[in-house]
Amino acid sequence: MGLLPPTCFGLETGIEPFRVELDAFSGRENPHWNLSICEAEQFLKHIRSLNGTETEFVRVGLGYRGIIVRGEDLEDYDEILIYKGIVLAQRGNNSSRFTDDGRLLELWLLNTGKDNLDRNLYSQIVSQIGEKMWIFDSHYRGCARLWGSERGLTRASTAFSPSFYMYLKDPPAHREMIEALESRFKAEECSFRTIFGTFQGHKTMQAEK
């Protein structure tokens, strides 16, 4: 599953921006910011793609306790809370729970407010969210290296054929480029899943040396 950059990909507009709150303080106002129209569309698209879960949503103690999103056009919900891989969507006394695999949505939401947050606070929360995440390193001698910190710094390697996925809003307008990629880099049509849904595009292989 990939994380796309913040572009709209021609999604429908017309929704009101959502307010995002970082639940980090007690006794004083939490930091907050608004999503842009484009970011709000991406957020809704991702929410629709999440899988349901029976895992309890738990927030205890002081310090960082997740991210809260509120808005009038927030699907069928009044607010959505994201914390530690669980998404809790609420309206009145009704609620639904979903899985945020790899805490990607939580990290993406935090990044939308980077310019509105104190630098030290931002770094601290990024560290908390990503403390058990795997980080992909570069492709080296036919393998991709993965680093993790769940049980101290560890490294693993796996065989990997270098490639990337490409989505084009209007493929016919880029036919010459696609044909060149197909002939030179073995590009092929495919569908690929991201946190914003499934896209039709191309898988492009890196040129062999």
Q: Model confidence over 23-69: pLDDT tens digits?
A: 998 888 999 999 988 888 889 988 988 999 988 888 776 789 999 99
Helix (H, G, I), strand (E, B) or coil at 51: coil
Report the alpha-carbon distance of residue 155 to residue 145 in Å, rounded. Answer: 7
Question: What pLDDT is stored for residue 138 in this prediction?
Answer: 59
CA 71 to each of CA 8, 67, 77, 98, 105: distance values in angstroms, whole numbers, following the listed order: 19, 14, 9, 19, 17
pLDDT tens, residue by residue, 76-113: 899 999 998 899 999 888 899 999 988 889 988 998 99
CA 122 to each of CA 6, 69, 96, 150, 194: distance values in angstroms, whole numbers, following the listed order: 19, 17, 28, 21, 25
Out of 32-36, 69-73, 138-142, pick the least confident: 138-142
Whether the CB-CB separation of 33 and 113 falls below 8 Å is answered with yes
Out of 10-14, 138-142, 146-150, pick the least confident: 10-14
Question: What pLDDT is stored for residue 194 in this prediction?
Answer: 75
Looking at every residue in the chain, the average pLDDT score rounds to: 79
* Cα atoms in the Cβ-side hemisphere of radius 13 Å centred on 207: 5
Distance of CA 21 to the CA centre of its chain: 17
Report the alpha-carbon distance of residue 110 to residue 15 in Å, rounded. Answer: 21
Instruction: Please name which of 180, 162, 161, 170 lies closest in space to residue 200, comparing C-alpha atoms.
Output: 170
* Cα atoms in the Cβ-side hemisphere of radius 13 Å centred on 43: 34
